Structure 1
Amino acid sequence: MALALTAPTAAAFTSPAAFSPAAVPAAFSPDAAPAVARVWVTTPDGALRLADRGTVAFGRAGADVPTVVVDPGRRFQTIEGFGASITDSSAAVLYRLTPAARDAVMVSLFRDDKLSYLRQPIGASDFTDEPAYTYDDVPAGQTDYALRHFSIAHDRAQILPLLRRARELNPYLKIMATPWSPPAWMKTNGSLVGGRLIDSPRVYQAYAAYLVKFVRAYRAEGVAVDALTIQNEPQNRTPSGYPGMDLPSWQAAEVIERLGPMLRAAGLSTKILGYDHNWSEHPNDAANTPADSVADIDHYPQELLATPAARWISGTAYHCYYGDPSAMTALHDEFPRKDIYFTECSGSRSSDPAHTFSDTLKWHARNLIIGSTRNWAKTVINWNLALDETNGPHTGGCGTCTGVVTVASDGTVTRNAEYYTLGHVARFLRPGAVRVAGTSFGTTGWNGQIQDVAFANPDGSTVLVAHNQNDNPQTFGVRFGDRSFTYTLPGGALATFVWSGRSGDRPLDPAGWTATGSGTDAALAVDDDAATRFTTGTPQRPGQYLQVDLGRVQPVGRIVFDTGASVGDTPRGWAISVSADGRRWAEVATGSGGQFASATLSRGQFRHVRLTLTAADPAAWWSVADVRAYRRAHR
């Protein structure tokens, strides 16, 4: 169900001030322990839409519910932005509105919802209300290697004015650009639909020059292009009636080897991103792979980054239409110095349109807002910014895609679920925000648990975005340093929590840790993923243990064994011991029950830590989802 705004005026799009992080109480101090967190919630039934639900108080008492732990002392990727694409179709439907109504929509999107990243087609895509085009079209049989006919005049009517207005409304806005096809005269089939680049140095040079000319032309129009990819979905070899092209990794490398030096010579800082396709290759695409590019099957980003062209490539771009976000982490682990961007996913009309808002909210929360950012994405970009009530106009391609907003023929404008999922991060993350460590029990594959991701803003505030994957309400806890709060999240809901203050914790990176134990999958306790777990697989009895090797002898101030969401599997009695050499052990803490079994150490150094059960429970197994170690505090 979508929210219909029946008066397409500026007043109809004025958002409450409470949607802004500025509404966080001024008493917050980044130098003190947090006192309260402010909460905004969206529910699948649409009853709550980024609704300010007030504050929840931190306390010192531990929670008796599954509790996620936020550790801002471990930092990952810097976030660059969240947004969509002003396609030809988006521009066309926005220009069907009166100037005042159109500007009200832009204000709602870029000032109020704070969308901060746009991915712009270079020429036509599948979402256009006119014949396909590029910026250098010439009659069939002719060529234009000198690019004398190059012109972006087409974009001056609608697209460029909208881009300039978006940047006025959000000065932090970034823009990347992607072609669906080069000019037809550069291609083997002489068409914008299908085919491949002609395998010729002259063509590679011309295509690189075409892209540089685009960036320079946009800059002259007041629109800076922060990043480029050189082909949308390069393994989609048979687009259904819209521009597209097969671009194997070896041809992409040929273009990039020319494009990189050209951008530098032109004094342009525009980044080059590779791939720009799905998390995993669709089987239909794999089945149609030509003999000269079989190495690209489910390995395209790796193949491209293994070429000399990699020195010009800043990162890799991904889409959502096949596979799982974990593919981005797999690539990051192989090429940790190359960034990851998530650059396209469309919402989709459900088979029962009444469920579209709910279905989109849940899927995008799980896979994009949380799933992608937890897997190293610096951006989350939806597809069309705006479409009409028939999910168009479009040429071939998707007939069920939805936009961030829908603009009906009568001027009614509807904020769709994408507006709110993006808003749950875009409104609260400031430029320079960084993803930080946080345990999460939910998975992108859906396991019914609380799924979350945490960020630190430059001003010292912390942002936690949490999604209840279950259809029923769930109560969970959030721990930050030695303070925590509990909150009950409605079924399927998405929430953003914002607080300010320091935790004081200095967590260690678990990379390289190993584990053994009295059960199965001991390694899952040290995989930095609280959604997986080590378990005894049998009822608890004294002597069962989990032992962790931290890789080297080092000073550790605190060690924590975290049961995670399986609160029934907490150890009934336990003892923690430490050792420098794995032979001589010293017991440092004992206890019983609770999600967290922990020990605090004021002196000494060690490499090994072991938790041993000291009590039996014939009715319960024992699990550990996460082991964490913290540096000793300076005195």
Structure 2
Amino acid sequence: MGQRSRSLTSTALLPAPELADRICPSPTAAEAPCGLGVPASWAGSCCCRQHRPWQVSGRAVSPRGVQGRRGELGAGGAPSWQGKVCGRPLPAPLLPLQAAGPVMPRTSGTARWCVPAAPRTATRWTPWCCRPRAPTSSTRAARPASGWSAARGASRAMQRPQVPAPAADAVPHPQGWSPRPHAVAVMLLIPADFHLTLDTAQRYQKVKGFGGSVTDSAAINIQSLSKEAQSHLLRSYFSEEGIEYNLVRVPMASTDFSVRLYTYADAEGDFELKHFNLTEEDTRMKIPILQAAQAVAKRPLSLYASPWTSPVWMKTNGAMTGRGTLKGNPGDKYHKAWAKYFIRFLDEYAKHNLTFWAVTAGNEPTAGEIVFYPFQCLGFSPEHQRDFIAQDLGPALANSSHRHVQLIILDDQRVMLPYWAQVVLKDPVAASYISGIGIHWYLDFLAPIDLTLSITHHLFPNYFLLSTEASTGSYFWEPRVVLGGWDRGSKYSHSILTDLNNYVTGWTDWNLALDLQGGPNWSKNYVDSPVIVDSSKDVFYKQPMFYHMGHFSKFIPEGSQRVGLAVSKKCRRCELEHTAFLRPDGAVVLVVLNRSPMDVSFGISDPRVGFIEATAPSDSIQTFLWKQPA
């Protein structure tokens, strides 16, 4: 027998008008959605929940996602959300918003979707809410394309879900889902004096942004879709209609998420890099996707590049994988050639009108110190990286036409901090070329955040911290792809919130899109992704991770600054996580994550505006947005 699984009900508040191509009908004038440029008389709350899938006229409705036009979902079955539009003009600038009634998808014929009757308003953003609910019947795990069956239903935001009897015609659910023991959400009543108080006088780090990586695998999956579907996917990620990613990590040559191993300079002994060339993976895949993303994005995109390995003729072990570093010593011809490799990459991309905000000194330099490491890598100790930057890479960037490109060190697990930063940044020459420190999340459980990120920030406050890679399904004991995996979205939000509250300036996901297996790639290192593509049906699925990311990327634009948020008392029986930012347009953003099985009541106080009472539903993420008086 496979794993047991659950179905979930929904009281969802839907995301942006264009994201689902409007699963909800257009709001009336009295129910206009709150927007990014929020007038002082508007306020909004955005909350995410999850719902119960159902069968549409005998056609499969696959795991949870968002219903939209063909290309995102396709005819004959798709992820679906039922939802509400929320947002009303209020007499006071900070009062709870009321939601319109739930909207059910059509069920006649094959799977269909709703389209707004009124013209779309690109500058507006509709509040939304996702939350797992009570378990229903479950059966043997199977491939999700075989379909779903459950009773259709909706509930008001605070209505208790009911546990239906096992369905006689229950069909297999996706892999990786397991039942939770609670049948109903539990309301946790908190004393009235438990509230969050905003303090904009306390200022912390400014945000660089949020985004993902255009790997070879991501590019293959995006280009496997029709032109219309490709456009829809990129608009969902980058446009004002979507969640507005503004950070994009671009690998320099191949990674474990490529279908072959290659570099740009494989000619033996080519120290002058006369035979340096981009590959088809760049010119036909990654570059067109980056150009298309830039074309649909309103916010400027910040690209940053990371190399996984040097050409094998530069390496001590003569292989792209396994334990090996650069031959020779910093300052010699091998290190000069490797530094020049960075410049040539930037030169070639500039010919395609793609300029980079930053480069990292190398992806996971500690991996190249591991014997039999299975993926592309290039080993560096902190001392080696320090000297390479001081003598080779730093001067190469400074003396090129790319002197504006910022340099990020580490690009590896935060368990290496603060030691790595102390070794590299205490050298004044190396430090003069460096702007920030990159971190990955895979070993966070070994590295308490207050003993790594916070200490590093206080030791080196003039260097930004940036999360440069994260993915779920990467541990050997985990299922690779879990369609509709709510817990994986919660892991993303938990990581982002804790990072932001410890001076991190941005957060970058790994692959923008993968297939149903979690690839393709040469290494068979399959993982999950916020967007899963099924090219055989010309569809893609927006996972809960996508919407968790959107609570940050959409509402906390570049230039936003974290501000103080005081808690009146510790809530020992609940697990609220939260952060607050003041945006460049003067709006305040408060994100609240509740990973507990209980609904939590709390208050929000802004001394300049007022006070409201709110509820964080169990297993939910919420975003509150309001305008402060000038």
- Would you say the 8 A contact 2:46–2:623 is kept in 1? yes
Query: For residue 292 of structure 2, what is the aligned residue in structure 1?
Result: 165
Query: For residue 299 of structure 1, what is the aligned residue in structure 2?
Result: 419
Q: Please provide the CA RMSD for this pair.
A: 3.3
Deviation at 1:199, TM superposition (A): 2.5
CA 1:440/1:360 → structure 2, altered by over 3 Å: closer, same or farther?
farther
Deviation at 1:330, TM superposition (A): 1.4
Query: For residue 180 of structure 2, what is the aligned residue in structure 1?
Result: none
1:221-620 matched pairs, under 5 angstroms: 221-237=352-368, 238=370, 240-257=373-390, 258-268=392-402, 269-281=404-416, 299-307=419-427, 308-323=429-444, 324-326=448-450, 327-348=452-473, 351=479, 357-368=485-496, 370-396=497-523, 398-399=525-526, 401-410=527-536, 411-439=538-566, 448-481=574-607, 483-502=610-629
Query: How many residues are treated as equivalent by the alignment?
Result: 468
Q: Name the CA distance, whole Å, in 2 between partners of 1:15 and 1:208.
A: 49
- Would you say the 8 A contact 2:195–2:567 is kept in 1? no
Q: Name the CA distance, whole Å, in 2 between partners of 1:313 and 1:199.
A: 23
Aligned counterpart for 2:215 among listed residues 75, 87, 109? 87
Greater mean alpha carbon deviation, residues 184-193 or residues 346-355 = 346-355
Alignment of 1:54 onto 2:79: no
3-state SS of the aligned residue for 1:165?
A: helix
3-state SS of the aligned residue for 2:271?
A: coil
CA 1:108/1:423 → structure 2, altered by over 3 Å: closer, same or farther?
same
* Per-residue Cα deviation, 1:534-555 (whole angstroms, up to 9, x for no partner): xxxxxxxxxxxxxxxxxxxxxx
Q: Name the CA distance, whole Å, in 1 between partners of 2:38 and 2:627.
A: 9
Alignment of 1:24 onto 2:157: no
Query: For residue 121 of structure 1, what is the aligned residue in structure 2?
Result: 251
Query: For residue 72 of structure 1, what is the aligned residue in structure 2?
Result: 200
Q: Which amino acid aligns with 1:158?
A: M
* Per-residue Cα deviation, 1:377-399 (whole angstroms, up to 9, x for no partner): 11110000000000011233632
Q: Which amino acid aligns with 1:89?
A: S
Q: Which runs of 5+ in 2 are unaligned?
A: 1-6, 10-16, 52-63, 65-79, 97-189
Q: Name the CA distance, whole Å, in 2 between partners of 1:27 and 1:331.
A: 36
- Would you say the 8 A contact 1:440–1:451 is kept in 2? no
3-state SS of the aligned residue for 1:146?
A: coil
Q: Name the CA distance, whole Å, in 2 between partners of 1:412 and 1:352.
A: 19
Tell me the percent identity. Answer: 25
Q: Name the CA distance, whole Å, in 2 between partners of 1:176 and 1:311.
A: 19
Q: Name the CA distance, whole Å, in 2 between partners of 1:76 and 1:353.
A: 36
* Per-residue Cα deviation, 1:516-573 (whole angstroms, up to 9, x for no partner): xxxxxxxxxxxxxxxxxxxxxxxxxxxxxxxxxxxxxxxxxxxxxxxxxxxxxxxxxx
Q: Name the CA distance, whole Å, in 1 between partners of 2:36 and 2:290.
A: 34
Q: Name the CA distance, whole Å, in 1 between partners of 2:231 and 2:252.
A: 24
Q: Which amino acid aligns with 1:136?
A: A
Deviation at 1:253, TM superposition (A): 1.7
CA 1:441/1:100 → structure 2, altered by over 3 Å: closer, same or farther?
farther
Q: Name the CA distance, whole Å, in 1 between partners of 2:401 and 2:246.
A: 24
3-state SS of the aligned residue for 1:245?
A: coil
Alignment of 1:43 onto 2:49: yes
Normalising to structure 1: TM-score of the pair?
A: 0.68
Deviation at 1:478, TM superposition (A): 0.9
CA 1:208/1:101 → structure 2, altered by over 3 Å: closer, same or farther?
same
Q: Name the CA distance, whole Å, in 2 between partners of 1:177 and 1:364.
A: 22
Q: Name the CA distance, whole Å, in 2 between partners of 1:50 and 1:348.
A: 29
Deviation at 1:224, TM superposition (A): 0.9
3-state SS of the aligned residue for 1:217?
A: helix
- Would you say the 8 A contact 1:252–1:304 is kept in 2? yes
Q: Which runs of 5+ in 1 are unaligned?
A: 4-9, 30-34, 282-296, 504-635
- Would you say the 8 A contact 1:63–1:484 is kept in 2? no
Q: Name the CA distance, whole Å, in 1 between partners of 2:573 and 2:276.
A: 52
Q: Name the CA distance, whole Å, in 2 between partners of 1:77 and 1:276.
A: 20
3-state SS of the aligned residue for 2:547?
A: helix
Query: For residue 284 of structure 1, what is the aligned residue in structure 2?
Result: none
Deviation at 1:11, TM superposition (A): 8.9
Deviation at 1:167, TM superposition (A): 1.1
Q: Name the CA distance, whole Å, in 2 between partners of 1:442 and 1:334.
A: 30
- Would you say the 8 A contact 2:203–2:562 is kept in 1? yes
Larger Rg: 1
* Per-residue Cα deviation, 1:453-505 (whole angstroms, up to 9, x for no partner): 111111111111110121121111111115211111211101111100149xx
Greater mean alpha carbon deviation, residues 197-206 or residues 43-52 = 43-52
Query: For residue 262 of structure 2, what is the aligned residue in structure 1?
Result: 133
CA 1:143/1:441 → structure 2, altered by over 3 Å: closer, same or farther?
farther
Q: Which amino acid aligns with 2:202?
A: R
3-state SS of the aligned residue for 2:546?
A: helix
Normalising to structure 2: TM-score of the pair?
A: 0.69
Greater mean alpha carbon deviation, residues 62-71 or residues 194-203 = 62-71
3-state SS of the aligned residue for 1:149?
A: coil
Query: For residue 99 of structure 1, what is the aligned residue in structure 2?
Result: 227
3-state SS of the aligned residue for 2:367?
A: coil
Query: For residue 12 of structure 2, what is the aligned residue in structure 1?
Result: none
- Would you say the 8 A contact 2:23–2:82 is kept in 1? no
Q: Name the CA distance, whole Å, in 1 between partners of 2:279 and 2:495.
A: 38
